């Protein structure tokens, strides 16, 4: 089971401006609590004890709010980036002392994910990294044609179909050995997005798995989403 987690909390939150001019996105309130506190409570309730929080933009505000984590019954270690190195770049700044598999969690999503299921996929599938996904559907209010692009001949059609797809939730599980490998292969301040990380690992023969979460998942990356989620949590007790 995951005992260590990395929360990615260093982004600029540009899509939530003007709110994030004054406050970093992870400290924006959802109901009566900041986003990051709700994430921590959920993960702590499933056995996570040690939290590594990657900070950059207005990082001191996050440190001043959470401090050492003792008031929440956890241990917090801050991973401070002098420059923004991307969503996966903070992995290169983790201390070498991490001795267990790691949960990675975006600092702007809320969910009721079952971490034991994610961990099982990581371990039983013998994957180096597992991406959590959620299934979504989009209804197309038009007929959709299928045709051979070379001959231009119609081969089929679907009348107002529902298209199914899977979203990246920003929640991952990874092996300690994967982090060790990455730190040997990449310079510390390398800019690295999550898709870049996937490409790199697969090019090196590493295996990436997918865990499909079928419960609640709420993204808080845009203003309309934030207002919707905040309304959903309004009235919660502290």
pLDDT of residue 13: 67
SS (H, E, C) 43-84: HHCCCCCEEEEEECCCHHHHHHHHCCCHHHCCEEEEEECCCC
- Check: CB of residue 4 under 8 Å from CB of residue 48: yes
| CATH classification at residue 87 | 3.90.550.10
Q: Pairing relation of β-strands 102-106 and 75-80? A: unpaired
Full residue range of the structural domain in which residue 224 is found: 4-135+167-233
pLDDT of residue 21: 81
Could you identify the residue written with the tokens 């007929």? 143
- Check: CB of residue 110 under 8 Å from CB of residue 229: yes
In a domain, 188, yes or no: yes
The per-residue pLDDT string of the chain (238 residues; one tens digit each, 9 = 90 and over) reads: 899 999 998 777 677 677 778 888 888 888 888 999 999 999 999 999 999 999 887 878 888 888 888 888 888 999 887 777 777 888 888 887 677 899 999 998 999 999 999 999 999 999 999 999 999 999 999 999 999 999 999 999 999 999 999 999 999 999 999 999 998 898 777 788 999 999 999 999 999 999 999 999 988 878 878 888 887 877 654 4
pLDDT of residue 235: 60
Domain tally, the chain: 1
In a domain, 91, yes or no: yes
In a domain, 148, yes or no: no
pLDDT of residue 238: 47
In a domain, 196, yes or no: yes
């Amino acid at each position: 089971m995951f005992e260590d987690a990395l929360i990615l909390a260093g982004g600029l939150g540009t899509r939530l401006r003007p709110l994030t001019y004054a406050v970093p996105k992870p400290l924006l309130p959802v109901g009566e609590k900041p986003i990051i506190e709700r994430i921590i409570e959920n993960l702590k309730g499933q056995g996570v004890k040690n939290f590594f929080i990657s900070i950059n933009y207005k990082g001191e505000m996050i440190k001043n709010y959470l401090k050492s984590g003792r008031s929440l019954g956890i241990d917090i270690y801050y991973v401070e980036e002098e420059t923004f190195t991307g969503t996966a770049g903070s992995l290169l700044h983790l201390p070498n002392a991490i001795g267990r598999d790691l949960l990675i969690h975006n600092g702007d999503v809320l969910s009721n994910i079952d971490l034991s299921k994610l961990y099982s996929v990581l371990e039983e599938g013998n994957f180096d990294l597992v991406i959590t996904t959620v299934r979504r559907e989009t209804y197309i209010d038009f007929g959709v044609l299928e045709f051979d692009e070379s001959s231009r001949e119609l081969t089929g059609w679907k009348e107002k179909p529902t298209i199914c797809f899977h979203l990246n939730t920003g929640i991952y599980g990874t092996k300690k050995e994967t982090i060790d490998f990455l730190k040997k292969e990449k310079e510390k301040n390398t800019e690295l997005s999550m898709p870049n990380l996937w490409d790199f690992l697969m090019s090196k023969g590493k295996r990436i798995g997918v865990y499909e979460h079928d419960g609640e998942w709420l993204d808080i990356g845009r203003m309309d989403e934030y207002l919707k989620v905040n309304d959903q949590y309004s009235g919660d007790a502290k």
